[in-house]
A = this chain, B = another copy of it.
Amino acid sequence: MTDAPLVAGIELGGTKCVCILARGPEQIEDRVSLPTTRPDETMAGIERVLDGWGGFSALGIASFGPISIDRHAADYGQITSTPKPGWAGTDVAKRLEARYGVPTAFHTDVVGAALAEARWGAAKGLADVAYATVGTGIGVGVIAGHRPVDGLTHAELGHIRPVRLPGDDWVGSCPYHGACCEGLAAGPALAARTGRKGQEIGADDPVWEGVAHALGQLCHTLVLTGTPRRIVMGGGVMMGNSHLFPRVRSAMTKSLAGYIALPEVQLAETFVVPPALGDNAGPLGAIVLGAQALEEHLHRSYAGG
């Protein structure tokens, strides 16, 4: 690990932003938190921190979304259609890449968390992992062969429309889809349906049955992508209500009905697991993103491309 490069990582979240300078979880040289306020103020704050560091050989940014991750797109590096005031259309990655002149990676916070959990956490050693966070929304990051699965854009699988629990026709809380997975199982859905926050709802409340059913459908869908060897589930709703884990596993297993007959999936207790890195998953994910950008840069240089 002493040979790991020194990387600057930024986890840009909706309420706060964490900057770390690290080689890995055991070698964090600095860590600074800033509130996420207006874009100009927040970006200037990030630059003050990074200006003070120097000496890092790559930069990784794990951001709240939706974001443009396609390097060929005109809006690459920007936060795109967020409802967060002032942030839609804000350039994050191009500005920082130009300022520091090091290989820079830009991806979602959930892909960052997935990479970190796969490298050092609850999915350590696995090349193919999905990470789902269930909090104010549902975000999903998918990793295959140690790399984010990218194409047109990043995954948004929290918005799949799950088949409904028989007899449940609640309209859901997603402003786009109503009863999509996020509209049935994220924090705002719980609040809208019960008038209470997740942590105030007893484990025996019937509302959890629908939540577990929707999240079981999310896991069913993730299994059918063929990709993950493990699904890590975090976020406030999961972590504040650990009774959900056995329920989600059971809903997934019942829904798959034996179709994917692989031991990894059938051993649901080790297939759907909580994260292991806690609050560090996001910033450490940014470190992995930066290290991968450096690796690809070196590979291109070596190959003469």
Contacts and interface: CB of A to CB of B under 8 A. Distances in A.
B225 A149 contact: yes
A151 interface: yes
A248 to B, nearest CB: 15
Given A164-B163, A164-B164, A150 B156 contact: no
Interface in A201-251: 217, 220-221, 223-229
A257 to B, nearest CB: 5
Task: Please classify the interface of chain A as helix (H, G, I), strand (E, B), loop, or mixed, using the class held by over half of its residues.
Answer: loop
Given A163-B161, A164-B164, A153 B259 contact: no
Interface stretch (A22-30, A186-194, A260-268, A289-297): A260-268
Nearest to A181: B224
Given A81-B261, A161-B255, A163-B179, A151 B227 contact: yes
A277 interface: no
Contacts of A228: 151-152
As for how many copies of this chain the complex holds, the number is 2
A128 B220 CA distance: 23
Contacts of A5: none
> On chain A, which size bracket covers the interface?
35 or more
A62 to B, nearest CB: 16
B150 A227 contact: yes
Nearest to A108: B226
Nearest to A158: B224
A259 B265 CA distance: 31
A128 B224 CA distance: 18
Contacts of A159: 224, 259
28 contacts: A80-B261, A128-B152, A144-B150, A145-B151, A149-B225, A152-B226, A152-B228, A152-B262, A153-B262, A154-B226, A155-B224, A155-B225, A155-B226, A156-B223, A156-B226, A156-B260, A157-B224, A157-B225, A160-B220, A160-B221, A161-B217, A161-B220, A161-B255, A162-B163, A163-B179, A164-B164, A176-B258, A221-B221
